[in-house]
Amino acid sequence: APTTIKTNHRTAVKSELSSATMRVMWSTTFERFAVGKVVCGAVAVFVEDWTRPRAGESRIFEQDVLERLGCTKPWVPPALYVPLSAVLVWLSADKDTRVVGLLAWYGAGVLAWTLFEYLAHRFSFHHAPATRRQLVIGYLIHGNHHAFPDDVRRLTTPVVMTLPIGAAILGVFLLVLGRPGFGCFAGFMHGYLLYDLVHYAIHRGALQTPVGRFLRRHHLQHHFLAPHRKFGVTSPLWDVIFRTSR
């Protein structure tokens, strides 16, 4: 009898822990946290429920200067990163470099971006916050976009975010690959630019080709039907591989 009681207790505990784990999900965040102004140090952020998409524009920061830095025109990333990527390609080449090799590294960088896009979206952007600080970080990174999916001022990633992140990733590429890392990162950067522009066009309804309509449907299903699936924006490749496409 004691053994039976102990076994039943363990089963009950496991079931309770499993239920608690299920409740701590990105989609149930606002069953655990309230919406409204959240103060983190000197920064105040207005957090809205990201499971209830609405029309219109949002205000994220109480401080005006931070609010302005959080908005980006769609032409800004290409204006900055297209010339920069040309410099990276030039840095990756020397007198012994073959065009085929350069293109291979560039293509590897584009492919690396598609995987990075998928993993970041799935595991970072949709991370279930456990603290108020994590709630704020999650809202700044991605939650605001789900709460206000058509806020045109925030459809492209602010340069104040992409520059330091890009610099860190470039450092990793150079550490691992050496000089070819410049060309590989140029491909990675162009993958990011494609992501930003495709994402902008999806939400502005500007994709009219069959591929464009597929990508738009794929992404809007992620927004409005299945936020736990369909994480790829520029490609469904990794959704298919990791079985999150259905």
Percent of the chain whose pLDDT exceeds 70 = 91
pLDDT per position as a tens digit, 181-210: 999 999 999 999 999 999 999 999 888 899
153 or 96, which is more confident? 153
| CA–CA–CA angle 158, 163, 168 (5° rounding) | 135
- The pLDDT of residue 236 is 95
Helix/strand number for the chain, H first, E second: 10, 2
C-beta atoms surrounding 104 within 10 Å: 15
| Cα separation, 160 vs 158, whole angstroms | 5
Helix (H) or strand (E) holding 36: strand 36-40
Report the candidate in 90, 89, 41 with the shortest Cα–Cα distance to residue 66.
41
**Sequential DSSP letters for 195-218:** HHHHHHHHHHT---SHHHHHHHHH
- The pLDDT of residue 57 is 93
